[in-house]
Structure 1
Amino acid sequence: MDEANRSGKIVIDALFSEYTFPNFLDPIKKRAREFEELYPRYRIEIGSFYFQNLGEEVSKAALAGRPPTIASYYSGASELARDTLTQDGRPLFTSVERAIGGREEILGQKVVLGDMVAAGRDFYTIDGTFCAMPLTLSTMHLYTNTTLLRAAGVHEVPRTWQGIEAACEAVAKLEGGPSHRISWANDGKFFQQAMAQLGAPLTDGDNGRTGRATTIDLASPEMLAYVTWWHRLHRDGHYLYTGKTEDWEGSFKAFADQQVVFRFSSSFDAPYMVKAAKAGGFDIEVSPTPHNGDIPLGGNWIGGDAIWLADGLDKETEDGALAFMQYLNSPRNAAEWHKVYGSSPVTYGAIDLLERDGWLDEHSYHRVTIDQLASTSGSPGASGAMVGHFAQIQHAMMDAMEDVMGRGADPIERFTEAAGQASGLLDDYGANCRGTGPRASHCLLIDS
């Protein structure tokens, strides 16, 4: 029996994903100590694993009969959370919305689930219920060196693929201009962003939200439209290919060194990009990721984490866990979390508070994320897919694009091949995760 149990306290085992930000969970730990002062009968045990290992560690703990009370999963691992089992073969996690049961307060904490921004609610609404509580939210942005762009005679940052191509052509004519015009990492998130903007589901079952995804198509007209646009930028000398996948550092350096005018990157990057522009002596504009101007905008890829609640808890433990989740996302605490790490505010209450405090006036680039996440049609394709083996499927996309840019492969032929690989991966995941036994280790992989 551990110290917390010997003291007679109700223990909430809370596992969180760790990231490379320094002291990432310090604010969470501080909130836990505050919660314990408010509710002395509870003890919040904060644990963590690197986000890519958390799914496997939670699964092992659950199968050993010691699952966490709550756990925060990276958005791309949501299907893995849904498929994690207890010792007796039941799903480990339950719907947060169902557990709240329509209550407006839990242990005196105001329920904020209904105040979640639409992007978070849409992403985590699965089989008709709001399954997990968002903790962080992010998406993809365009970062523009407007000093170079203006020098090329372009005075408005492009909002469409077509506008990007036209601006790249103008910058290419600039005497003494950059070697290339645009760069972004070859990473699976950008494929997801493009598909969400196009409102195009990657899978059946309404992108895995009204039924398990059983089919996936990486050679759909929408995917090939994005791939051929990217390939055209590369072929015409505009896109800077750094020579390796997931090279976020390479595209950041290219932008900071003014080798390119445009960069696609995460909204989490905004403070660092603004700082790099200031250090480099050039102006920067943060704006939404450009989309295909011939098609109405669908939505956006959703990054970040959400907290999942274990099923089968006794009422006191469950209420304590739910109250702690509401406390973490109270307007003041959610606003403070945003200020520390740049996650887009997850509730409208936090946004209102940041507006009243003047924070968003002083850091206007964060408004871009808020406004971009609000731009969604609410369609199944607008929020990104809920699919198993997503880590490997993303690598199938990335490897295909690597062959297109680095080895001259035909984009349509190579992505048709990748489509077959992805279908095989999804079939393998389904075969391993339809039963009640332990999941195969390769099904527990999480990618960024």
Structure 2
Amino acid sequence: MRRTPDGRVVVRVWFADYPFQTYDGRPFLDPVRDRAEEFGRAHPDYLIEVTGHPFPAMAEEVARAAEPPDVAGYYASASRLALDTLDRDGLPMFTSVERAVAGREEILGEPVVLNDLEPALREAYTGRGGELLSQPFSVTTFLLYANMDLLRAAGITEIPRTWAEIAAACQKIGPGSITWPIHGWLVQQAVSAQGGVFADNGNGRDGRANRVELDSPEMLAWVDWCRRLHKDGLYHYTGTQGDWMGNFQAFASGRTAFVVDSSKAAWDLVRTGRGQGFEVGVGPMPRNENAPYAGNPVSGDSLWLARDIDPVTRDGALAFLQYLANPVNAAAWHRAHGFVPVTGTADLLLADQGWFAEHPYQRAGTEQLRSGDGSAAARGPVIGPSAGVNAAMTQALEDVLVRDAVPAERFRQATEEAQRLLDDYNADCDVPRTPSSLSIG
């Protein structure tokens, strides 16, 4: 147990930090630091020590820390890394949040919110034993944004919702009318929405993934749709993989009619559109009309609780997690950054306060996540070398679009590359140590 000179118990919480500001221009983690100070005033026996860390480096920094944190925020795709990180005794670094709560309805007077989490979020972070492994904090999904002025000029009155509708709309609007970043995160969304999985053992959720598949029918359907749009001159590629800002700017400048981007970007895109003189509409990520919709996996960060901490520090950490996610604070985090409200009660509070009446586009992320079926596909893959697998998918898609690679052959090669990464990762985990590959991406 760590204490301050005046005897307060120190709870060390590491949050993923991002180069974003709040809507009112403050540093990304300022609202969290405010909550930590409030919690300390309400619980004077505790000091919540908040530090920010670049999200791609979180797993590496936790594993190498001489004194690991009591709580650490990992990106959604890094859940397997969190599960496989071991402490100096060769035991798991983290424990299940739900197990630590142990059925309590409140901790240090703070009401437990786990049963109020949005179902898609619980499903995303639930382990094989049915326990909630980590507590979701910053939540996003991917949405379609449309320049409604350009759509109306082409005789289109509603935002397209399917691949066929998008293709037809783009044909009416003209060349380069849709854009999105070539990135593995978005590819995951497109495949998962069709019910496609990336790995055996229930997408890596019923046990450690041993086999990966990047050339599934769902993947090839997505790649073929992208390829046709590109060949017809309708898809605008900036020429750079993962070029989120370039795609944003293409849409904001009116060069494209559609962009697929994070739900967190809704505020910025809508306000930018107004500043440029056009209306921005927001809808779900386009879906394959020939496949039943499964769901879009959750993106963002969740908070993992260290296993080997004393009961007093543990309860301080758990109480702070519940405080962060109580209705008032979860709603405030949404209002600060546009992340999906993590609980149903926070969503209702925002509605009662008139927030969604004033900002209706901020409901789209929640609505999309609520429409999923809870399947392994909708919950997304849990794979150790997720950064490398994403890179393999990204490069393969670019090769198909730009270099005219044959989709089935190129994604079979990507599967082989990803399988080698997975085999190496799993072999690294066969001995009691933290895996050497801890990249997040």
TM-score by length of 1: 0.95
Correspondence for 1:138: 140
Letter of the 2:327 partner, please give it.
Answer: P
> Cα deviations across residues 45-67 of structure 1 (Å, max 9, x unaligned)?
11221111111110012xx3x22
TM-score by length of 2: 0.96
Q: In structure 1, the residue corresponding to 2:51 is in which secondary structure? A: strand
Distance 1:222 1:383 in 2: 16
Q: Is residue 381 from structure 1 mapped to residue 377 from structure 2 by the alignment?
A: yes
Distance 2:435 2:209 in 1: 17
Q: In structure 2, the residue corresponding to 1:98 is in which secondary structure? A: helix
Distance 2:434 2:176 in 1: 49
> Cα deviations across residues 31-53 of structure 1 (Å, max 9, x unaligned)?
11111111111111112211111
Correspondence for 2:37: 33
> Cα deviations across residues 177-214 of structure 1 (Å, max 9, x unaligned)?
xx411110001111111122112111111111110111
Q: Following superposition of structure 1 onto structure 2, how do residues 192-207 of structure 1 map, counting pairs within 5 Å?
A: 192-207=188-203
Correspondence for 1:129: 131
Distance 1:356 1:336 in 2: 14
Distance 1:74 1:437 in 2: 21
Show structure 1 runs of 4+ deviating over 3 A.
Answer: none
Q: Following superposition of structure 1 onto structure 2, how do residues 276-355 of structure 1 map, counting pairs within 5 Å?
A: 276-355=272-351
Q: In structure 1, the residue corresponding to 2:144 is in which secondary structure? A: strand
Letter of the 2:99 partner, please give it.
Answer: R
Q: In structure 2, the residue corresponding to 1:282 is in which secondary structure? A: coil
Distance 1:270 1:343 in 2: 10
Q: Following superposition of structure 1 onto structure 2, how do residues 170-185 of structure 1 map, counting pairs within 5 Å?
A: 170-172=172-174, 179-185=175-181
Distance 1:205 1:145 in 2: 41
> Cα deviations across residues 429-448 of structure 1 (Å, max 9, x unaligned)?
111123212431xx11111x
Distance 1:302 1:332 in 2: 22
Mapped contact 1:197–1:382 kept (Cα < 8 A) = yes
Shift of 1:325: 0.3
Correspondence for 2:9: 10
Shift of 1:301: 2.4
Which of 369, 377, 388 in structure 2 is aligned with 1:392?
Answer: 388
Q: Is residue 191 from structure 1 mapped to residue 187 from structure 2 by the alignment?
A: yes
Gaps (5+ residues) in structure 1? Answer: 173-178
Distance 2:184 2:310 in 1: 40
Q: Aligned pair in 2 of structure 1 residues 155, 438: CA closer, same or farther (>3 Å)? A: closer
Correspondence for 1:94: 95
Letter of the 1:284 partner, please give it.
Answer: V
Letter of the 1:445 partner, please give it.
Answer: S
Q: Following superposition of structure 1 onto structure 2, how do residues 113-124 of structure 1 map, counting pairs within 5 Å?
A: 113-124=114-125
Q: Is residue 253 from structure 1 mapped to residue 249 from structure 2 by the alignment?
A: yes
Distance 1:288 1:56 in 2: 34
Q: In structure 1, the residue corresponding to 2:299 is in which secondary structure? A: coil
Distance 1:191 1:383 in 2: 14
Correspondence for 2:440: 446
Gaps (5+ residues) in structure 2? Answer: 22-26
Letter of the 1:13 partner, please give it.
Answer: R
> Cα deviations across residues 117-147 of structure 1 (Å, max 9, x unaligned)?
0111010011121100001110000001111
Correspondence for 1:176: none
Distance 2:246 2:274 in 1: 19
Q: In structure 2, the residue corresponding to 1:444 is in which secondary structure? A: coil
Letter of the 2:30 partner, please give it.
Answer: D
Letter of the 1:138 partner, please give it.
Answer: T
Mapped contact 2:214–2:393 kept (Cα < 8 A) = yes
